[in-house]
Chain A
């Protein structure tokens, strides 16, 4: 198993540009989520999905969209990038939406100029 994979590893955007961060898992996990990590802070939940076709907002959803058309993929879209979205983005998955060990991808480092 590749586990949770994320692409790209690093991206530079200009303010106002849009982009999609990709996340995929090959463990047949129902639950997937996106977090952002800012310097000196813990991770904060952006959006999550409890299964294909079902998504919901987390703690900091503004400026981000998600969709879940398959069990394997959970892309995160930045509609109009802002410098405040400079961060490291982590995707995570677990077998079920309940209390479960979460597995994290390697992260995408995003710089918005």
Chain B
């Protein structure tokens, strides 16, 4: 099956700093999503982005499907951005059967 790898595994930021999280996937996908798991365990969908670029406030994401990677940008980080960020992908023909990466743990310090 498809492999999804995220980097870095851990990241500590000072409030106000910017960061880039990376997701590599091993096969062609037509479904790629980014999620944030807050410290209380709730999973929030950030982006559905199988290709191209999207922005939502301080967050943006870019997927280059031909090169099999996606990037999540966080600008002007806030303490509420802390948590775990997951990338999840599904191969072509696999609909919404997502395979998750291991996540990036983000800690934003005030």
Shortest distance between the CB of A78 and any CB in chain B (Å): 20
* Choice from A33, A44, A99, A107 contacting B50 with Cβ under 8 Å: A99
* Choice from B41, B48, B50, B98 contacting A88 with Cβ under 8 Å: B41
* Choice from B41, B97, B103 contacting A58 with Cβ under 8 Å: B97
Residues in B with CB closer than 8 Å to A101 are: 33, 45, 48
Q: What residue in chain A is nearest B103 (Cβ atoms)?
A: A42
Shortest distance between the CB of A48 and any CB in chain B (Å): 6
Residues in A with CB closer than 8 Å to B4 are: 42
Instruction: Flag the segment in B55-63, B64-72, B88-96 that touches A.
Output: B88-96
* Choice from A31, A43, A99, A107 contacting B100 with Cβ under 8 Å: A43
- Are A45 and B45 closer than 8 Å at their CB atoms? no
How many angstroms from the CA of A40 to the CA of B83 in the assembled complex? 13
- Are A45 and B97 closer than 8 Å at their CB atoms? yes
Bin chain A's interface residue count.
Answer: 20 to 34
Residues 67-110 of B at the A interface (beta carbon under 8 Å): 86, 88, 90, 95-103
CB within 8 Å for A99 and B97 given contacts A41-B102, A106-B42: no
Shortest distance between the CB of A86 and any CB in chain B (Å): 15
Residues in B with CB closer than 8 Å to A74 are: none
Contact with A along B39-50 (1 / 0, CB 8 A): 001111100101
- Are B100 and A44 closer than 8 Å at their CB atoms? yes
Instruction: Flag the segment in A20-28, A62-70, A90-98 that touches B.
Output: A90-98
How many angstroms from the CA of A102 to the CA of B96 in the assembled complex? 8
Residues in B with CB closer than 8 Å to A48 are: 96-97
Residues in A with CB closer than 8 Å to B96 are: 31, 33, 48, 94, 97-100, 102
* Choice from A31, A35, A99 contacting B48 with Cβ under 8 Å: A99
User: Does B24 make an interface contact (CB < 8 A)?
Assistant: no
Shortest distance between the CB of A29 and any CB in chain B (Å): 10
A-B contact pairs, 10 of them (CB 8 A): A31-B96, A42-B100, A59-B99, A97-B96, A98-B95, A99-B30, A99-B48, A100-B96, A101-B48, A104-B35
